[in-house]
Every structure is written in structure tokens, then in C-alpha cells.
Structure 1
Amino acid sequence: MLLGCIGDDFTGSSDLANTLVKGGMAVTQYCGLPDGPAAPGVEAGVVALKTRSVPVAEAVEQSLAALDWLLAQGCRQIFFKYCSTFDSTPQGNIGPVIDALMDRLDAKTAIVCPAFPGTGRTLYQGHLFVGDRLLSESGMQDHPLTPMTDPDIRRWLSLQTPRKVGHVAHADVAKGAEGIAAGLARELAAGAGPVVVDAIADADLHAIGAAAEGLVLITGGSGVALGLPENFRRAGELAGGSDSFAGVDGPGVVLSGSCSRATRAQVARYKTNHPSLEVTADEVMSGKTTVATLRAFVLENQDAAPLVYSSADPEEVRRAQGVYGTETLAGAIETLFADLAGELARSGIRRIVSAGGETSGAVVRGLGCEALRIGPEIDPGVPALRVEGAELALALKSGNFGGEDFFERALAILSEKGAA
């Protein structure tokens, strides 16, 4: 294994795996820390964790365990993947995990670049944009678990780490790999550890990848991984691609727990042509909505690919959090989706589309997946996935990703005909 990747959620991990597959690497995505060694032929291993919103100490512990496993597989470079909207709070978890990885690897510097221009995430003068809006005006300021109220990634990261945060501005990035390398060296000499690097186009990301050839640790969104496979290819270390992907025929379902603007628009569109059932906080906490009631609804409508969703608007989310507590409510809904996914798979559902990072992590946990094969891209950052050893195909979508017709297209691509 050449490149070892640690993802802080399952949607982001599949996003990263998708990028590396398109770059020509043989990739396996692992659902949590593997029990044994990697199979032969894996060039990039992506260990998908669910650490984005857990306590800091737990996130650090799990990330270091993943690092140790990846190093044991022979990885020479480590990539820490987090969301392209830098989802975190001032108390963590991105900064503490970067610190722990730098300490364990004895890394003097680490690139920080959440940019993903293909999905509208760009980084300029250290500020993160979503489309033409600053991050803090993009809807992410209303995220129920990690509200992003400051678009300055340098300032936000500085709240999370005792290390000095550096910056390589786009004026240096525009000079290519040599300009970026010079900028990184300058920031290191000035005492910086993690260094925020601007990127506004894919060409910038390819240049960052080239500049990162000799670095042991890179962090960011999946976009910055665009340029990494070429380093290994140039050294003659890639075998030439991954295994073929086969879709799965059979009943499908959409499970949505994201409250993002994009997902709510996708839910609204899908509801017009498919049976749907809303999961409300009050009904979950009162016990009115259960796994049994949801399972019955899905199986009654399985021929029409039904939708089960908990994608309320921000005002309703805040009200429910005030009544039940943020962590208690989130845990109850995630457990519900996890148990539901397991029941549906045992009941013959063969294609599952999941929306939302926390929801997708719960779905994968409920299914008991160990590893995923990466298939064709459905939308930028969202590949089709096949569960190793099972007749089950998945799409794990980050909340803000995908067009309004994503759900229908995802279900089609997950089928054998669509994946062909």
C-alpha cells in the first residue's frame, strides 16, 4: 500500500476513494479499522471513521489507530480527509487530529486545503467559499452539529491547535508546484506547522499534489488528492487501475438525514414522484416512529423506491435540539437509521441511497460493512459503492453534494444496468 487515508466520515471517505480511483489507483475503502492486513494489490487504503462530531479524545484515538494500521501496511504518505466545508467546532476535531498525526509522524509541516472546485468549494486568501458565497453565508452557518460561522480557515484552525497556522496564498499557488513548495518552506521557516493553501481551480489542486510529493502528511478535502496519484505513477509504482464494478438489481430505498439546502431540495423533488415518509424529532423521541413502522412503510412501497427522510429546516432543528438536547436527539435519529438499514438489507432491499454524513455513517454501521468497492461517479464527489461479499450497492452522499435529481440517478446507477 502506497497511500494511506483517514476519513472523518463515510461520505467524505467515498468521495476521496472516488478521486483516487479516477486518478488510476487501486483503492479499497474500509468501514472502520480493519481487523487484519490489507489484501494484495491495494495501492491506496481509505479507512473511513465516524469521528467528525465525537469527543476530541475519541477522534484522536481512532485516527491514531487508523494511522498505525496504515503504516503497518507500508504506506509512505498519509492523507487526513475532512469535509470540503471544514465541518468542525472551535473545540475540534480537525486541529487536534492534525496535531496528533503530525506528532506521531514527526511531520514538521502539513498542508491544509479543504477546497473542491468541482463542487463549488474554493479557498482564496485563506477564506473558504461555497459557490459565490462565503462559507458563513452558504447555509453551513445553520449546520445542526458543526455550524460554520467564520469562513477564514486560518482563524478557525487557530482556535483548534496550539501550533502556528501558516498560509500559502494564491499568488504563490499560481506559480505552480515550485511556487507552492517555496511558500511551504517559507512558512515552515517562520514557525508554522499546518499551512492553509489556497486553491480556486483543479489546476491548483494538481499543483499542490505535485508540491506534496515529499510530504508525509497532507490534509483536506478530496480535491487536494487529485494530484497525488501522478506522483506514484511518475515513480512507476502504480499497476494501472482498480477492479471492475458491478451494480445490483433489486428494490431500492432513499434514506435522508441531512438538513442541508441541497438535500432538502433533493427531498422535495423526489417526493413528487415517489412514496415518502418524514421522520420527525417529536415522533422519534416519543416512540411513535420506530424501526418497525419505517420498515413496514418501505416494504409496502419497495417497488416504487420509497424515501424516508429527516431533513427539517434549520428553525425546526433548533427547536427540537432545545427540547431534547443536541447529542441526545442526534444519537436517537442515527440509531434509528442504523437499525433500519440493517433490517431493510435483511428484508431484501438491495440498493440504498443515503444523504448526510452522520446518516451515512449510521447506515454503514447498521449494515455491518467491512469494505466497499468503488464504482462510477454519480455526481462530483459521490461514487457508486458495492459492499464486498454482499448483493448490496450504496450511494453515500454528503449533505451539500449532488443535483436536485440525485436520488433517482443514484438508484439507476446502482443497478446492474446503470453501472454497466
Structure 2
Amino acid sequence: MSVRFAVIADDFTGGLFVASNLEKIGIPALYVCDPGILPSIGDQGVVVVATRLRFMPPAEAVATLDSLTVSLDAIGTEHIFYKYCSTFDSTDEGNIGPCADFLIGKYDQSRLVFGPGYPDLRTYVHEGYMFYKDRLISESIKRFDPISPMNDPDMARVLQRQTAEKVGLLPHRVLHRGSTVAHDYVRDQQDKGVRYFLMDCVDNDDVALGAVIFGGDRVTTGADALAIELASRWEKRQLARQDRPMPLRGQGGEAVLVGSCSEVTLRQRDHFALSNPVLDIDIREAEADALTDRALEWARRRLDAGRAIGFSVAGDPDAVTRAQSMFGVMGAARKAEAILAGIARGLAEKGVRKFVVSGGESSGAIVQALGIQSMQVLAFDELGAGSCISQDDRRISLFLKPGKIGAEDVFSAALEKMRA
């Protein structure tokens, strides 16, 4: 039993981006939601393991990563890629730094690459400064993120606050000169005590050269672009393009669950509500169980009518601030996720088999609540990433998306795709 390339994704939607893009170019990627099944997966090329590492307390995140790497090592994994958000979403306490410190120590590496950015989605890093949609990230909508507001555009500085290791920069001006110059530069920086290399990501050429320089390391870290490039290089050495048949889809009710509070998601929710019933839930009104029960009773009458329905715990910035003042930043987020997860579990018991979910953390909570162990990921298409089907007898179809992406009509379009 062996795995050539394992991606440990720090949230569920990020892992889907990697898997769906690999599927698009004909490289199968097993998407694992429950690490407990790893000993039984057999030989695999690429495995993507979805976790909720991003916002765990740092000590819990490291312990979770420790357990997961033990399982991956036991099945003969050759390369481990620790995948985080392309915009380096994290707090000053972690978890990117603490998880990286654990990995470089466990595998006794002399260096570790960090590759945030995703040029195809207009997320760039130049001289260590991140740009999101052509603005410094500190001037973009990312500065309003309710859990990890990105107010510092210097990614090397952000990482340095999370680790005692010396952080250096591998800039575009060096990468642009080719592999020989870049290799020499990295070696020179290592001689000066640099162990962590924050890599520029101005274009896909930077990503490709980074994969050449660091691809032989036992462990690498980065965002979607570097993960896809490295995994595809590993697999292209092993097999030709594969086209897999479309998996069987589940048949049953349809629901949209909205956890993200981004402006993009709020517009998508409002568009869906123009032609479908949507229940807005104020998490301050009652305990989570009571709000869940109330939502499921509301759903029962509408499901009987055969309608697609929606549930939203997302609010405008003022509503988010009020909820956070009552429960704390993470407390508000976890209560909202618990409500949506409870609703999803109850809906599945009532025969719902098509779920659209907005929000990375909400997606993780809902997939875990549904008891899904692994999924087949569908290829990246006009909807983007996020389409997947559970590999169990229920055949639950899901579309899991980050909050800040997608067209205004993406919820309805995703459900329509599930009906095809």
C-alpha cells in the first residue's frame, strides 16, 4: 500500500480546488474527509485529506497534524504537501507557522517552502507583498474577514509572527532568472540561516520554477497553484491522462446552506431567495439546538412541496459584529457552523441528497455532520471547483464553495448541475 502524493488541506473547500483541478487534467485524486479510512484506501497516486486545521487552537492543530502524518507515513506516503488558503488566511498565533514548525522538525528538513498566491484567480505575491484582485490584500475585501482579517500585506512578516524560524524571501526577480540562479540563491540564503522561504507568485512561471526547486523535498507547503503544479509533476511521471466515468448521483431533496458572511455570498443568497424560500437565522435568538429544530420544522412543509430551500446564518457586517460581541469571534463562528451542521444532518434524514454550501469552515462542519468519509471530486468546470459526490450508498451530491468566489446565480446553477 502506498500514496505518492498527499495533500493535507487546512479546510474542505481548499482541498476541493486542488482535487478538481487535477481531475480536470486527468489525474484522479481521492478526496478523504475522514482520516480513519486511510489504512484501507489501497495504492493511490494523489490523495487529498480535508481537515479543519485552519482555525483550530495551535496546539490542537499540531496534534491533529501529528496524528495525520503518522497515518500517512504508515501507508507509505512519498510526499506531503500542507495546503493553506491562497491568501494565507491565518491569525498571528497560527496555524501556518506552528504546523510548519512541526513538519520541518518531524521530517528533519533543512528548509521549507511557502507558496501562497494563485495567479489564475488574480491572487499574486510580489516582493513578499500580496495582491488580491489587483489591490494590496490589506485594501481588499479580505480586510473585513470576520475571523482572519488580512491587514498586513507582507506575507513574510505575517509568517515571521507565527514562527521562531528565520523567514526569507524567494523573489520573482530571482525566479525570473531561471533554475540555476534560483538554486544558488536558495543555497546562499540557507548558509545565512534562512530555513523558511516565502516564494513570490507573480505568475505561473514562478509557480512552475518553485516546483522544480523544492519538488524533491519530503514536505512542501503552499496554496492551490503550487499544490496542483507539484502533484501533476509527480503523477505525470507515473501515468497518462485518465478520464473517469461520471459517478452515480443521489436522488432527493435540495438545500442551500449559507455560512459565509462575505459581500459576494450575501449577493448570491439574495439572488437565490428571489425564486426560492430562504430562512434567515439570527444565531443570537436562542440556543443552537432550538434554532436547528425550528429550521427543520420550517423545512418540513417546504420539502413536502418538492422545493429547493435555503438556510442562512450569514449577516451584514453589523450583524456579525453584534454576534461576535455576544459569543466572541470563534464562538460566533462555531455556533453558526453547529446550526448549519445540525440542519444538514436533519435534512439528510428527511431524504435531502443535494447540498450547496457556502463557506469553507461551514463546508467542513456539514460534511462531518453528514458522516461522509470520502468523495469523488468532479473536474473543474464553469462553476469552478466544489462539485463532489459521497462514496457511500446515499450518493449525496455537494457543491462546496469558499465565500468570496462565484457568480451571483451560482447556487441555482450548482443545483441544476446536480439534476443533470
Q: Residues of 2 paired with 1:414 and 1:230: CA distance?
A: 28
Query: So what's the TM-score if we normalise by structure 1?
Result: 0.92
Q: Residues of 2 paired with 1:403 and 1:217: CA distance?
A: 35
Tell whether 2:346 aligns with 1:343.
yes
Instruction: Indicate if the aligned counterparts of 2:23 and 2:379 stay in contact, CA closer than 8 A.
Output: no
Residue equivalent to 1:118 = 120
Tell whether 2:299 aligns with 1:295.
no
Instruction: Indicate if the aligned counterparts of 1:173 and 1:199 stay in contact, CA closer than 8 A.
Output: no
Give 1:17-166 correspondences, 5 Å limit.
Answer: 17-166=19-168
Query: So what's the TM-score if we normalise by structure 2?
Result: 0.92
Of 274-283 and 163-172, more deviation after overlay is shown by: 274-283
Cα pair distance change 1:297/1:153, threshold 3 Å:
same
Q: Residues of 1 paired with 2:110 and 2:24: CA distance?
A: 30
Instruction: Indicate if the aligned counterparts of 2:38 and 2:72 stay in contact, CA closer than 8 A.
Output: no
Residue equivalent to 1:394 = 398
- CA-to-aligned-CA distance 1:151-180 (integer Å, 9 cap, x gap): 111000000000011111111222344444
Q: Residues of 1 paired with 2:293 and 2:325: CA distance?
A: 27
Give 1:1-400 correspondences, 5 Å limit.
Answer: 1-235=3-237, 237-238=238-239, 240-241=241-242, 243-246=244-247, 247-285=249-287, 290-302=291-303, 303-378=306-381, 382-389=385-392, 390-400=394-404
Residue equivalent to 2:413 = 409
Q: Residues of 2 paired with 1:224 and 1:231: CA distance?
A: 11
Q: Tell me by how many angstroms 1:98 deviates.
A: 0.6
Q: Residues of 2 paired with 1:107 and 1:23: CA distance?
A: 31
Cα pair distance change 1:338/1:312, threshold 3 Å:
same
User: How many residues end up aligned between the 2 structures?
Assistant: 414
Amino acid at match of 1:154: A
Cα pair distance change 1:249/1:158, threshold 3 Å:
same
- CA-to-aligned-CA distance 1:275-295 (integer Å, 9 cap, x gap): 1111112224487x6222212
Q: Residues of 1 paired with 2:69 and 2:384: CA distance?
A: 24
- CA-to-aligned-CA distance 1:248-292 (integer Å, 9 cap, x gap): 3432111011012221221122222221111112224487x6222
CA-based RMSD? 2.1
Cα pair distance change 1:234/1:410, threshold 3 Å:
closer
Q: Residues of 1 paired with 2:48 and 2:288: CA distance?
A: 38
Q: Tell me by how many angstroms 1:349 deviates.
A: 0.8
Q: Which runs of 5+ in 1 are unaligned?
A: none
Q: Residues of 1 paired with 2:185 and 2:262: CA distance?
A: 35
Cα pair distance change 1:177/1:299, threshold 3 Å:
farther
Q: Which runs of 5+ in 2 are unaligned?
A: none
> Partner of 2:85: helix, strand, or coil?
coil
Amino acid at match of 2:292: V
Q: Residues of 1 paired with 2:415 and 2:179: CA distance?
A: 40
Of 118-127 and 19-28, more deviation after overlay is shown by: 19-28
Amino acid at match of 1:222: D
> Partner of 1:391: helix, strand, or coil?
coil
Cα pair distance change 1:21/1:71, threshold 3 Å:
farther
> Partner of 2:252: helix, strand, or coil?
coil
Cα pair distance change 1:414/1:208, threshold 3 Å:
farther
Q: Tell me by how many angstroms 1:39 deviates.
A: 2.3
Q: Residues of 2 paired with 1:73 and 1:413: CA distance?
A: 36
Q: Residues of 2 paired with 1:295 and 1:226: CA distance?
A: 39
> Partner of 1:57: helix, strand, or coil?
helix
Instruction: Indicate if the aligned counterparts of 1:187 and 1:195 stay in contact, CA closer than 8 A.
Output: no
Instruction: Indicate if the aligned counterparts of 1:47 and 1:66 stay in contact, CA closer than 8 A.
Output: no
Q: Residues of 2 paired with 1:57 and 1:225: CA distance?
A: 25
